[in-house]
Amino acid sequence: MHALRLNGWKSEAVLEDVPVPEPGPGQVLVQVGGAGACHSDLHLMHDFEDGLLPWHLPFTLGHENAGWVHTLGTGVTGPEPGQPVAVVGAWGCGACARCRVGFETYCEDPANAPVPAGGGGLGLDGGMAEYLLVPAARFLVPLPDGLDPVHAAPLTDAGLTPYHAIKRSLPKLTPDATAVVIGVGGLGHLAVQLLKAVCAAQVIAVDPRAEARQLADEAGADLSLSPDADTAATIRQAAHGRGADVVLDFVGSEATMQTGLAATRMLGDFTLVGIAGGSVPFSFFSQAYEVSLQTTYWGTRGELVEVLDLAARGLLRPDITRFSLADAPEAYRRLAAGEVAGRAVVVPRDAYRA
């Protein structure tokens, strides 16, 4: 089969022929219906040094995956061949305290995980291929009726990550509150939709790209801004003169962090999701009183079930651009160039074939 492989740090991924995996005991082989292209993959290809992560090369990219159950290893019960499924991206040990409550992203026993602090496409072979080997059935979530693998794939990260961040701050998102989304890309445009679906707060989107602001407007943003020197003041004025209750930064540069913190209301939440490498000073007076600074990473299996349900009900729909597997390198080139609105999804096949 064809697969998009990362063979070296700070190098481009390349299409190669590799054997179709055979599932061992407890494993499931999934025929890939859609694999999302994420900015995190660009960091793997262009930014990370050898030894930064506890992973061994080569491996196939693609950590946002959905498709159909193809073959079951011995001892697997539950999933049936042909069943459409989404793949949980983070693969932990399944036994530690964090994993037992669904937080396999924060596995505390990495020595017994399939790969430390990773999963398919993150240290192990991912879904930029015709087939994906999943190490355990617990990493599969059946797709609800009305949701196909192409639209489900990006929801496993680009939908789940903002949903988890929003749920952490949900008590503060009252009808008179204001939420800010900085960066309306693959995650940000879904964050706007999720905020409109789960709360009645005012939603302000910030992005320098006109097409991204249009996407935010279409997603339901109450106000879309292009960043400038007065962005924080503009947000505070729009937020009843007091600032935003929740700021979600999907970029993570020094500039976006400075803007977001300056716009955050006392007792508000500033959540850093993007990994552009920015940092800001933290001291008693560096932000408004009792502002909480927090990071977040992915979400739980249970939260993914909720995200997929929202999508099946028409409350959440990723804006996708489809690419064939042969064009997967072009998808990443366009993503790096900022030419993809929403999410790029690689589609190895358009329909299930047994």
pLDDT tens-digit readout, 242-257: 999 999 999 999 999 9
- Does residue 160 register a pLDDT over 90? yes
Average pLDDT over residues 307-317: 97
Phi-psi region of 133 (alpha: psi -120 to 50; beta: other; left: phi over 0): beta
- Does residue 239 register a pLDDT over 50? yes
Torsion angle of C-alpha atoms 56, 33, 299, 4, degrees rounded to 10:
20
* Full-model pTM: 0.96
Average pLDDT over residues 88-114: 95
- Does residue 194 register a pLDDT over 90? yes
Q: For 161-295, CATH number? A: 3.40.50.720
Residue pair 107/300 in contact (Cβ under 8 Å)? The answer is no
- Does residue 113 register a pLDDT over 80? yes
- Residue 354 pLDDT grade (very low, low, confident, very high; cuts 50, 70, 90): very low
CA distances from 293 to 18, 228, 283 (A): 44, 23, 11
Helix axes 301-312, 160-168, angle to 10 degrees: 110
Helix axes 328-336, 39-46, angle to 10 degrees: 90
Superfamily name and number for 2-157+299-346: Medium-chain alcohol dehydrogenases, catalytic domain (3.90.180.10)
Rounded Cα distance between 49 and 226, Å, is 33
Domain boundaries, the chain: 2-157+299-346, 161-295
Average pLDDT over residues 85-91: 97
pLDDT of residue 350: 60
